[in-house]
Structure 1
């Protein structure tokens, strides 16, 4: 028997509910696909509210020690206070374990009503840089001694025009960080026979950070994958190579995603832009309830539900476990267990086709029957 250890964190809010509904679906898919020859071995780690209750810490050392040697992990949503309190556990985990690539495939499931006319034209995979940009968390509150020192330095020694009481945040971006994210996106496009990689940036305004991302992306593609890639200008001149490297300014890309989504296949982008565009694209195909994702280093793949903790519905059996389950399907694909992953995708598609879905999806499907989180998981198991 082939066994793969998957460390998991339940998460806060609706986390325990989506895990209880979702994990059995993944186990059942593996069992049906391989008849007991393959198995996922789940080992729980503590983080967030459950960890605080049981250990007095939001992120215990035992969890960090286990993840240091891990290859596979999954988690539910973890809460983060806005404007106060502890730093985001999600960001902390990404930076501690160098999970530099957030990868989110976004594709339409037939039957879901969308706010756009042609959601079926959306079939993109977003690669978001995960460790740099403003998410590095280097900032100081307005009026603090630290912020005043930074303001004084920038104003007096660098010639910047700044108010004494400005809050200050730093946006670090490196050639190494940008190139490795773009490299992963281009390699994915080549391996998966995707037609293009679009570098999404605000280099027209932030010329040395976002503009650097664009320049380094083009440079890396040409030097490392030149036999497979070409620019749009080269394509217009008649070049024929498998992957076109494009770039779009971030605000223009939002328009493109709405009116010409079929022109874009793989998106490589910076941290903040990626946060925005991946959620916006998910909305075009039905919302975050069915949006899977993974954060990856060169050694650890950390799959996660991409929605929040939804505290207002926690404990009410109203949550949608779809994001977690489809992230589990991504994990199965990552392992090469494609048969089990296809069973999961088929089960979700069948439930949507039968219009028997959780309340968030039922609001988007005319004539749908709303079921609870637990029952939706049971329906998916039956659909396998």
Structure 2
């Protein structure tokens, strides 16, 4: 039995979280949940965006599944997501993007995985504002160690999963030093994994153009924090949007899997939410826990449901509620 910290989150978070819990129960997945919340709901209940019992649970289980959380804007609070990533050095943000029959998109044959460095760069939190001069400085901190770790992770993943092509996206023509560190780290990793037969690098603006023109040419992509944040949403748009893609934050000692979309307070409690993104993230979690058979079985039921448009939620062209969509998946297990 695997202990997992469950973070329902805000807005539609509790609804889609319940969907995952129900599907896992029906599939008899050997997971025991420890439920602790974060975000606005937790702030209202406990006075903290990230209550201590949540930290205690994560440090005990080492694995978390997190629904979408809301950090209040303009009130001085640091992002919940960034806080967790930096506190536990969850340096890998892993975002698969794959076309799925039944989900209508402009492209076919996309099957790529993006590795985004998750703790450094422009999101390092090194900002200074000079009110007198009206100048805000945001420092992008990139380290040799951070570049090495994310590039090693990307190539190790490619090697493990039989993927032959890794592309590193950068802006080394302008950001000379930061670009150099990533380029050197990627070349280092490429030399250590000769079974990954094709390594190349692309300047970030060209990378964006290539992705919207011929995305099927890419396999594994690795990049820095800000570029990865942008590219991961771009890749999601190629395969159906944020509502159908999974995401993981992985470190050496802990992993938190999450829905990558927002909390959608405008439809909260209305039974309209699509739980696919969180469910797919939960399936990534099962593979991380060594429960691949359970993950494959649930994935087959989910993909079969996509083929019946009337059984899907409204954002996928159907009329099913969150609970009905969940039940259709369970019926196919």
Correspondence list, 1:118-197, <5 A:
119-143=107-131, 164-197=133-166
Give 1:142 deviation, angstroms. 4.7
| Residue 308 (structure 2) aligns with | 354
2:203 is the alignment partner of 1:249:
yes
Query: Out of 90, 98, 105, which is 2:96 matched to?
Result: 105
- Between the aligned partners of 1:48 and 1:83, the Cα distance in structure 2 is 15
Query: Quick one: structure 1 residues 321 and 70, their matched pair in 2 at CA, closer, same or farther if it must change by over 3 Å?
Result: same
The 8 Å contact of residues 26 and 329 in structure 1, kept in 2 or not, is answered as no
| Residue 336 (structure 1) aligns with | 290
| Residue 55 (structure 2) aligns with | 64
- Between the aligned partners of 1:194 and 1:50, the Cα distance in structure 2 is 41
Give 1:258 deviation, angstroms. 2.2
Query: Quick one: structure 1 residues 82 and 57, their matched pair in 2 at CA, closer, same or farther if it must change by over 3 Å?
Result: closer
Query: Out of 14, 17, 22, which is 2:15 matched to?
Result: 17
Which of 51-60 and 281-290 deviates more? 51-60
The 8 Å contact of residues 189 and 243 in structure 1, kept in 2 or not, is answered as no
Specify the SS of the correspondent of 1:275.
helix
Larger Rg: 1
- Between the aligned partners of 1:121 and 1:83, the Cα distance in structure 2 is 42
Query: Out of 10, 13, 37, which is 1:46 matched to?
Result: 37
The number of aligned residues is 332
The 8 Å contact of residues 129 and 178 in structure 1, kept in 2 or not, is answered as yes
- Between the aligned partners of 2:222 and 2:328, the Cα distance in structure 1 is 36
Specify the SS of the correspondent of 2:45.
helix
Give 1:378 deviation, angstroms. 1.2
| Residue 269 (structure 2) aligns with | 315
| Residue 251 (structure 2) aligns with | 297
| Residue 378 (structure 1) aligns with | 327
- Between the aligned partners of 1:314 and 1:191, the Cα distance in structure 2 is 39
- Between the aligned partners of 2:144 and 2:244, the Cα distance in structure 1 is 33
Give 1:294 deviation, angstroms. 0.7
Query: Out of 204, 208, 212, which is 1:258 matched to?
Result: 212
Gaps of 5+ in 1: 32-37, 145-163, 230-240, 363-368
The 8 Å contact of residues 291 and 323 in structure 1, kept in 2 or not, is answered as yes
Give 1:302 deviation, angstroms. 0.7
The 8 Å contact of residues 11 and 78 in structure 1, kept in 2 or not, is answered as yes
- Between the aligned partners of 2:43 and 2:241, the Cα distance in structure 1 is 30
Gaps of 5+ in 2: none
TM-score, length basis structure 1: 0.83
Give 1:41 deviation, angstroms. 0.5
The 8 Å contact of residues 17 and 373 in structure 1, kept in 2 or not, is answered as yes
Specify the SS of the correspondent of 2:77.
coil
- Between the aligned partners of 1:165 and 1:85, the Cα distance in structure 2 is 19
Specify the SS of the correspondent of 1:336.
coil
Specify the SS of the correspondent of 1:342.
helix
| Residue 5 (structure 1) aligns with | 3
Cα root mean square deviation, aligned = 1.5
Query: Quick one: structure 1 residues 206 and 42, their matched pair in 2 at CA, closer, same or farther if it must change by over 3 Å?
Result: same
Give 1:82 deviation, angstroms. 4.1
